[in-house]
Amino acid sequence: EAELYLGGGLFCSGLHLLSTMRAFVRRAGPIAFNNSVLSTSRLAQAPRCFSSAKANPRAKFETSVGSFEAELYLDKMPITASNFIALANQGYYDGIHFHRVIPGFMAQFGCPNAKDPNSRRAGTGGPEPRTKFTNLATGEEIARNSGGCIPDELIAKISNEPGTLSMANTGQKDTGGSQFFINVAHNDFLDWFNRSTPSKHPVFGKVDVGYDVVVKITKVKTRNDNPAEPIVMQKITVTGVPE
């Protein structure tokens, strides 16, 4: 089986054995959470309002084990970054726990079901269906699909390097919603433009302050990749959003 269903989330069966993780992920794609589909004809439109000369927005992540900050790539990934900013500004992420952490790989976060750190459904949730947000680069209103997902924004060739924020999905087209992961290794096999694997996980930001906190999160004691001692996101604050 390419995937193994554990504790409410889709996980790759090789991920518990780090020595075989990379080879397995090349087949299956590691980051997953629901099964909805969306198409769009406007995905590749060039930004009309946000100038790349302006500084990108920034996010501060305050967790129970420390804080870190990231640049959000609104200039290169306007739909994905705008989706994250909208959710953060709504307080959507506050009180959610990291539900999957793997040393030398990544830390995954953003499932609303993980407000309960022991939920067996952690890894399967996302935004409410048909909710809307504004593309902050163009002013266009974007509607999430019936599963709360946004279109895959496969336009910027940004690799899954250490510290990057990357969208979680099921491995199927247009299945990203609120969940994302933070890389702690150069996981280039997850790049959407790496044709050697089926994985397509677009990057939309990068941690540039407090990266050591992210690494610490990935190294905690776990049970089935879930932190044994829950790690909660207390608050995400976004600054520098264009008006």
Q: Which residues are identified as catalytic? A: 100, 105, 108, 169, 181, 190, 201
Handedness of CA 113, 191, 41, 133 (dihedral sign): positive
Q: Is 8 left (phi over 0), alpha (psi -120 to 50) or beta?
A: left
CB count in 10 Å sphere of residue 75: 19
Say if strands 58-63 and 164-167 run parallel, antiparallel, or are unpaired: unpaired
CA distance 47 to 190: 26
In which element (H, E) is residue 186 found?
A: none
The CA–CA distances, whole Å, from 200 to 28, 64, 187 equal 11, 30, 12
Residues in CB range of 110: below 8 A, 6 or more apart: 93, 96, 168, 178, 179, 180
User: Could you write out the DSSP letters of every residue in 95-162?
Assistant: TPBP-EEETTTEEEE--GGGGSTT-TTTTS--SPTT-EEE-TTT--EEE--TTS-B---TTS-----T
Q: Which two tokens mark 130?
A: 């048909």
